[in-house]
Amino acid sequence: MFRFENLEVYQKAVFFSNLIYAEVKTWPRIYRFGLSDQLCRAALSVALNIAEGSSRTGKEFARFLSIARGSCFECIPLIEIAFKQKLISTKLKNEWYNHCVALAKMLSKLKSSLSLTK
């Protein structure tokens, strides 16, 4: 098992990405090469940056965690647009938004826990 697989933030990022993928595949084709692809890439980027960064030095890992956090932020306008396009319900919008907030907080805490960032 790789070290990053034990991180709760990684597990939650994979869960979030799977939620996004499961939903967007039901969206009309018109959204496939824009909104759905971008949302999937942003959500997937969170877990991927945690995984890749964990193989690097502490300073580099901190940078990858910042990129992962930025991907959480990127999801927010995409979620809002999906909602305004009536692709997701208010409930789903709030659920996804809350996942992004939780992930961003966890990433910040993990980054601050690294000895090189103190």
Interval 51-74 mean pLDDT:
96
Interval 90-99 mean pLDDT:
98
Task: Output the pLDDT for position 33.
Answer: 85
Q: What is the DSSP string of 34-87?
A: IIIHHHHHHHHHHHHHHHHHTTS-HHHHHHHHHHHHHHHHHHHHHHHHHHHTTS
Give a yes or no: residue 20 inside a domain. yes
Q: What is the pLDDT of residues 63-83, one digit of tens each?
A: 999 999 999 999 999 999 999
> What CATH number corresponds to the domain at position 24?
1.20.1440.60
pLDDT at 17 over 80: yes
**Phi, psi for residue 70 in degrees, rounded to 5:** -60, -35
Interval 11-16 mean pLDDT:
98
Identify the domain containing residue 24 by its residue range: 3-113
Task: Output the pLDDT for position 108.
Answer: 97
How many domains in the chain?
A: 1
Task: Output the pLDDT for position 32.
Answer: 84
Give a yes or no: residue 93 inside a domain. yes
Averaged pLDDT score across all residues of the chain: 95
Interval 20-41 mean pLDDT:
94
The closest of 103, 105, 96, 47 to 76, measured between CA atoms, is 96
The closest of 67, 45, 48, 81 to 111, measured between CA atoms, is 67
Give a yes or no: residue 118 inside a domain. no
Task: Output the pLDDT for position 69.
Answer: 98
Give a yes or no: residue 81 inside a domain. yes
